[in-house]
Amino acid sequence: KMEEFVQSSGENGIVVFSLGSMVSNMSEDRAEVIASAFAQIPQKVLWRYDGKKPDNLGPNTRLYKWLPQNDLLGHPKTKAFITHGGSNGVYEAIYHGIPMVGTPLFGDQADNIARMKSKGTAVRLDLETMSTRDLLDALKEVINNPS
């Protein structure tokens, strides 16, 4: 079923969003800001999220409790990865050549994202303060101008 959804994305492809195993939830207002941005992009979005379904979730976005992250990052339709910047996800994205939107939360994540940003493979956002427009702009940047 997930594969059908991925394949249904056509030329536009997909965006993978996971904040890792530590963060399954976020505030409802943050989820709505994010859902609103996703609803405005032509890509299909696979979002690892275990919280309350945002009221404004677009038809192009599906929520999953778990994602086969490495398999998705290696999928030919994947255009971007939104990540907290944990080492595993960053290494997987580098390996598969997928540009990132990084929203570091703690630990070494900010450093990981800073390194990817300096290499031109990531755009950094602050999960707590970013607007729908910020996320839209970051996604457009990494999808339309992959390094």
The predicted-structure confidence for 41-77, as pLDDT tens digits, reads as follows 999 999 999 888 999 999 999 999 999 999 999 999 9
User: Mean pLDDT over residues 96-107, rounded?
Assistant: 92
Whole-angstrom distance, CA of residue 93 vs CA of residue 80? 9
Question: Which band of pLDDT confidence, cut at 50, 70 and 90, is reported for residue 19?
Answer: confident
Domain boundaries along the sequence of the chain: 2-144
Q: Where are the alpha helices (DSSP H) in the chain?
A: 2-7, 28-39, 69-73, 87-96, 109-118, 132-144
45 DSSP β-pair partners: 15, 61
Q: What is the CATH number of domain 2-144?
A: 3.40.50.2000
Global pTM reads 0.93
pLDDT tens-place string over residues 75-85? 999 999 999 99
